[in-house]
Amino acid sequence: HEAISSMVPKVKAFKPDVIIAIGGGGFIPARMLRTEIRVPILAVSLKLYDDATNTVGSQVEKVQWFDETSGVGKSVRGKRVLIVDEVDDSRTTLKYCVDEVKKTNAPAAIAVLVVHNKIRQKAAELPSDVEYMACEDVEDFWNCYPWDAAAYGRNIYAHEELARECLKGGDKATNPSGFDAHNKKIKAAEGLKEAEKELEATSLLGNALAAAALVAGLGIGFLAGRASSGR
């Protein structure tokens, strides 16, 4: 959040009329940015990565784009457009998005903002008339973002712990085996919590049954007393 906020002055200097968020990674950064840049957000969805294997595909797949029949394209045509994504890895997705916006929506100007720019050789380059902004330059490792917590430990609190460990320079930052061990630790802890919940539920049920038996016993004793006294 701090990284995105640090880019607000540059974004304001660009004076965007609209933000295009590349889904799914660009949605949350774009929304954070909109807190200070009060312009509409439009969404497109492009796919290059295989989420199941964390690998890069051979070409970009257009999953969702503007529906020109509904007039959404008018929000982009002739406007100053800021494209937002979480990471600039190979630059393939960004290049595809820029080219597609230019071809189909004819904006007046385009700028690109990414949270992280990976320091690596790029497979594509952006046109020279596109302004480029990166909140931070990072090494070429697989990035694990908070909005992907379900895929990395299935626990947002575990993801926070992992992030803090990475800041300390722990082995989870660069060592996949360390990361896998971390995931196993989290899953084991979650399994323990579930077992504790089941044990607690069983204990509560046992207490409830014991209480019911006690009440029933008192009731039988009370009725027997009434019968013996003739009341």
Q: Give the residue numbers marked as catalytic.
A: 89
Inter-CA distances, 131 with 80, 114, 127, Å: 11, 12, 9
DSSP E strands in the chain: the ranges are: 18-23, 41-50, 55-64, 80-88, 109-118, 131-138
| Residue length of the chain | 231
- Amino acid symbol at 7: M
* C-alpha to C-alpha distances, 42 to 18, 22, 97, 209, nearest whole angstrom: 7, 9, 13, 57
**What amino acid occupies position 217?**
G
Q: Is the peptide bond before 217 cis (omega within 30 degrees of 0)?
A: no
Q: Are 43 and 62 in contact (CB under 8 A)?
A: no
Packing angle between helix 156-167 and helix 176-229, nearest 10 degrees? 140
